[in-house]
Structure 1
């Protein structure tokens, strides 16, 4: 492992900004309509359960990242195979987010700029940050967390002042009952963003104050869940259900509706900054986890040396994956949760925890 330590507060800002990066990936599906905010809150409760699974594994092996303790639990061969698949999983999600971020910028701000140029510039910054290590990523999160808070506060005030929030759009609550909301919560929203905290199983061993990991993680997930639910409710109250469900980026449409005193309008930069900060941390943490996992597997003494080649791989794969933003969003909603996220975020960690329980019980006896 890298010889580094991060504080509980840095872990909080990392998780919060990481979870917030999913704002581009949480569409309002037609099944839940105006109850999208409630689906997020229900999924958050499920996310707490997943976090306890990841935390319990960390308690068994507090000095080892995920890709190391799977080898302790499953043996050398099976453990290495599973660790390799987790590295591929981290790379795959980083590729997806980079592509969606690039497509978003082209769609709303730079229609004449090649996607490759945007992705190259963004991934170069991320490669440099990952090369410097988890302490630099953590310190960056402290600074940008303050910037994000200022953006959120000023954006929310502008929405209120402009008078475009209509709470009647959020009614009626549970028009079709609770079943569609629960189904949406546990088939999509649970995995994105709350189940994605599995990647922090690669980072927990770096936290100086081990006793703060559980409390910090729960606070960060709870705060991000409340913020995402608030965003969903605001989008629906500003745009209405139909427009929100049709928009690729509902928050962008809400921000574009702001008009104060006849001159303060077209504040697209707010959304771009939101998306840029969130995507930066989401890709950086997945990328960092992939680099560290690969260095463990292939016994690379200096993990930072893998940052540049793996960054190039992520860049090239982002250019080769999919053909449009609509295709990416459809895959994120319909295919990835069931066939990719469910095994890696839920099924495998549960099985690992069961194995860890029996193995460590035998040791105790």
Structure 2
């Protein structure tokens, strides 16, 4: 399988777009209420520790992806089935992201368009991009990251200047101490979005040089954590924690409320642009992990023939996983995060790191 290369800036851009992808869509669990922005910062610290674990595994086994590393650590009898579990998880995550953005588009700007058409078009765009390889995906991230960042900053400048924010909604800070913050962090915020960066172990060997993976990953998590925390601060000051928890697409709603002298208004498309760019890269990254992992597990020469089959399966899965959007969110937050993603993104990687470290110490 040909080795493709991406730069540190390209990987950084992809991490930021991935992290803000679906996260800016929601008001999150709001377990910490008006302290949710502090909970995001606390989860970011946990994310930095997790990235240290992920990068250490990549240092122990250079030029290998997660799917290739696992059998090296625990042997083929456990490793191959576990690698398959991760591949299936990446596919499941892809279907969830696709459903998120299909619902967003279908409920906002393309109300009369069937959601199948929206999601199929989204998937075709991802397949076309990934057929060009990870280098094309990286260059696209490098180009579009500034666009998404400028859109986000512009949106919040307009919200602040239109005076729909109320800073008193952020008070009191630490009203009930640190317990609500810890409850918000574990397991929800630690997994979503910071633990999901485990996926970038599938990109690590493409980094030129791959030894920079830890540095790029750490900076990416730090930057995305600050962006998400500031975004949450803005949302809380606009809606208040109670209303925010019940608002389906809060950032979209907030930007839609902007009205500057009946001149600057109806800016919904700005929010859609920013969120779709993030969603495109989150779906694309999970899709890449799925097809590359499958090709590596079954010793295929290229992942390109798998794009259409897996794309079709993921599109079908996005409908099967839930009968409606409310159920989709419930399954993701109450079932998938604590019982599927938490073990796969946090518990198992830490165990793999411990085993690998012991094996390196004893020279096994």
Cross-structure match for 2:309: 309
Separation (CA, whole Å) in 2 of partners of 1:172 and 1:157: 24
Moved over 6 A (4+): none
Cross-structure match for 2:187: 187
Gaps of 5+ in 2: none
Cross-structure match for 2:221: 221
Matches within 5 A, 1:241-320: 241-320=241-320
* SS of aligned partner of 1:63: coil
CA offsets 1:127-179 (integer angstroms, 9 cap, x no match): 11122211011000011012112212221221222122221111111112210
Cross-structure match for 1:360: 360
Asked if the contact 1:159–1:258 (Cα under 8 Å) also holds between the matched residues in 2, the reply is: yes
Change over 3 Å in CA distance of 1:30–1:90 after alignment to 2? closer
Question: TM-score w.r.t. structure 1 length?
Answer: 0.96
Separation (CA, whole Å) in 2 of partners of 1:331 and 1:277: 25
Change over 3 Å in CA distance of 1:179–1:169 after alignment to 2? same
Separation (CA, whole Å) in 2 of partners of 1:27 and 1:157: 19
Q: Per-residue deviation at 1:30?
A: 4.9
Change over 3 Å in CA distance of 1:191–1:2 after alignment to 2? farther
Asked if the contact 1:26–1:192 (Cα under 8 Å) also holds between the matched residues in 2, the reply is: no
Moved more, 189-198 or 106-115: 106-115
Separation (CA, whole Å) in 2 of partners of 1:219 and 1:32: 26
Over aligned residue pairs, what C-alpha RMSD do you find? 1.4
Asked if the contact 1:8–1:207 (Cα under 8 Å) also holds between the matched residues in 2, the reply is: yes
Moved more, 25-34 or 139-148: 25-34
* SS of aligned partner of 1:174: coil
- Does the alignment pair 1:90 with 2:90? yes
Q: Per-residue deviation at 1:239?
A: 1.5
Separation (CA, whole Å) in 2 of partners of 1:326 and 1:15: 28
Q: Per-residue deviation at 1:28?
A: 3.9
Cross-structure match for 2:47: 47
Separation (CA, whole Å) in 1 of partners of 2:52 and 2:176: 32
Gaps of 5+ in 1: none
Separation (CA, whole Å) in 2 of partners of 1:17 and 1:193: 11
Matches within 5 A, 1:345-356: 345-356=345-356
Separation (CA, whole Å) in 2 of partners of 1:285 and 1:217: 15
Q: Per-residue deviation at 1:122?
A: 0.3
Separation (CA, whole Å) in 2 of partners of 1:101 and 1:327: 15
Asked if the contact 1:98–1:119 (Cα under 8 Å) also holds between the matched residues in 2, the reply is: yes
Cross-structure match for 1:209: 209
Separation (CA, whole Å) in 1 of partners of 2:2 and 2:307: 13
CA offsets 1:271-328 (integer angstroms, 9 cap, x no match): 2112210110001001001111100111111211111111111111112221221111
- Does the alignment pair 1:116 with 2:121? no
Separation (CA, whole Å) in 1 of partners of 2:358 and 2:133: 35
Change over 3 Å in CA distance of 1:240–1:58 after alignment to 2? same
Q: Per-residue deviation at 1:27?
A: 2.8
State the aligned residue count.
364
Separation (CA, whole Å) in 1 of partners of 2:24 and 2:334: 15
Question: TM-score w.r.t. structure 2 length?
Answer: 0.97
Q: Per-residue deviation at 1:330?
A: 1.6
Q: Per-residue deviation at 1:270?
A: 1.5
- Does the alignment pair 1:57 with 2:53? no
